[in-house]
Each structure stands twice: as structure tokens, then as C-alpha cells.
Chains A and B, each alone.
Chain A
Amino acid sequence: DTGVSQDPRHKITKRGQNVTFRCDPISEHNRLYWYRQTLGQGPEFLTYFQNEAQLEKSRLLSDRFSAERPKGSFSTLEIQRTEQGDSAMYLCASSLVTAVQETQYFGPGTRLLVL
């Protein structure tokens, strides 16, 4: 257990429905990342926050995806009008950025299946 939690752990939805995932980072961590991982592949960067500010967003992230981190604590990732191609594991990671280095701590992931 890294201290990063994600909810739900599994989600099955029908195509066209909206889904929302939550990530609770390690409390003192100022950065929070979202990744998507499909079977047999490495995690693919989606977006990241520094405190409450969303600093980078992958150009692979369509406008159906939105993420928030109100008050710089937990974060939510929403997918609107889900498609079968959205089926994947969605991973959250948090880190404490120092002048020396940054280590990301990953949550267990939310596995999404779109039928």
C-alpha cells in the first residue's frame, strides 16, 4: 500500500454513459498525475496537477475527458459519453516535488470496462 487510494477499483458501464473516478493522494504531496494503461502496455500520461492547477494535458486526451483537483487535495477524472476504446486501467500517482528529485507513488488503479 503506497498511501494513494483510488475509487472505485472496478467500473463496468455501457457505451455513452458518463463515469467519474476519484484519487486520494498522499496528503502532503503537491503533484498528482493521471495515467491510462491498456493490457500489455506501459502507463500513458493523461494530465497532471501542481496543487490545484492543471499544468499539462496530453494531446491524446479528448474533450470527453476532464480532471479536477479542487483545493489541491483529492482529484476526479470524468469521462463523458464513454466509448469501448476507453476501456483501460486508470492510474493515479502523487509526488512531492523537491529540488533534488521526484518520486511518484501510484494508486492501485481503477479498471474500466465499457460494454
Chain B
Amino acid sequence: SQQGEEDPQALSIQEGENATMNCSYKTSINNLQWYRQNSGRGLVHLILIRSNEREKHSGRLRVTLDTSKKSSSLLITASRAADTASYFCATEYTSGTYKYIFGTGTRLKVLA
């Protein structure tokens, strides 16, 4: 498969709780990005982390990158019902045919 793997595939939490989703990839990357997609709509860019960075914050989002394990995690703190969406990681590989490879996504549901 050309895609990375995300874990879990689906996640259901109560409003106010934290949500953590993970992304694993296969080969060396230049950067890794996280996107959100509301049902049936286009993707919205959330955050980019470069291969030489280990952690990055943006508002309620915290992203970590472990290049030795070829994995990243996205933490959403104090979740809201409006955070309900699918979340995808996308990796820019240093070699290969594809420019960006998207994961299979985590479907997050935040219950009010």
C-alpha cells in the first residue's frame, strides 16, 4: 500500500477530554503534516512538523514526531463537538514516485 497507517481507525470521546491519534510511515521523510476533513468536504491543513523537529504546538493541537520509530502523534486537548471529523497525516518522502502520501485516517467523534 502507498499509504501510511493511522491508529486508531475510529475514536469516540466526551467533550472536554483529550484525543490522541497516531500515524506511522515507512521511509525517510522531509516533513509530516496533519489535516482535518469534515464529512464529505475538502481537507484543512492543521500543522506541519519538519523531520528535524520533535514537537510542535498550535492552539489546542500538539504534534510529536519520532523519526527513529517512523511515527507521529496528534493530541487535541479539551476537545469540542466541532472537532468531530476525520484526521489524516500526510508525509513528504525524500524519495519515491509520490509527492505526498496520506494515511488512512482516524475518525474522531466528540460527544456533547
The A contact surface, by secondary structure, is loop
Chain A interface extent, by class: 20 to 34
B104's partner among A42, A59, A104 (CB-CB below 8 A) is A42
User: In the complex, are the beta carbons of A109 and B41 less than 8 A apart?
Assistant: yes
User: In the complex, are the beta carbons of A33 and B102 less than 8 A apart?
Assistant: no
The contact string, 1 if C-beta is below 8 Å from chain B, for chain A 42-80, is 111100100000001011100000000000000000000
B78: min CB distance to chain A, Å: 25
The number of A-B residue pairs with CB atoms under 8 Å apart is 67
A56's partner among B3, B33, B99 (CB-CB below 8 A) is B99
B100's partner among A4, A45, A89 (CB-CB below 8 A) is A45
User: In the complex, are the beta carbons of A56 and B44 less than 8 A apart?
Assistant: no
User: In the complex, are the beta carbons of B105 and A59 less than 8 A apart?
Assistant: no
Q: Is B2 at the interface (CB under 8 A from chain A)? A: yes
Given contacts A44-B2, A108-B42, contact A101 B31 (CB under 8 A): yes
User: In the complex, are the beta carbons of A101 and B48 less than 8 A apart?
Assistant: yes
B11: min CB distance to chain A, Å: 15
